[in-house]
Amino acid sequence: MAEVVEMSSVDREKLEGKIGEAIGLEMAAQKAVKELTSKGLLPDQRLIKHKMEGMKRSQ
């Protein structure tokens, strides 16, 4: 069971700021991937997955 921890308002604001920053970065990354994909600048995702699986097996 999860433990409930009290947070100060300053800590809560810092945490909310970090979460907002992470969400903003994720949105920017998704936008960049869409833009690069639309321009044909990203390789096929299946090819990337295949290469990643090959790298995992060689370890």
In this prediction the pTM is: 0.60
pLDDT in the model for residue 48: 78
Return the domain boundaries, the chain.
33-59
Instruction: Outline where the chain has alpha helix (H).
Output: 9-38, 45-57
Name, in order, each residue with C-beta under 8 angstroms of 52's C-beta and a sequence gap of 6 or more: none
pLDDT, position 56: 80
Single-letter residue type at 51: K
Q: pLDDT tens across 1-59, in order?
A: 778 888 899 999 999 999 999 999 999 999 998 898 889 888 777 777 788 888 888 76
pLDDT at 25: 96
How far is residue 43's CA from residue 47's CA, in Å, rounded to a whole number?
Answer: 7
Q: What is the pLDDT of residue 58?
A: 78
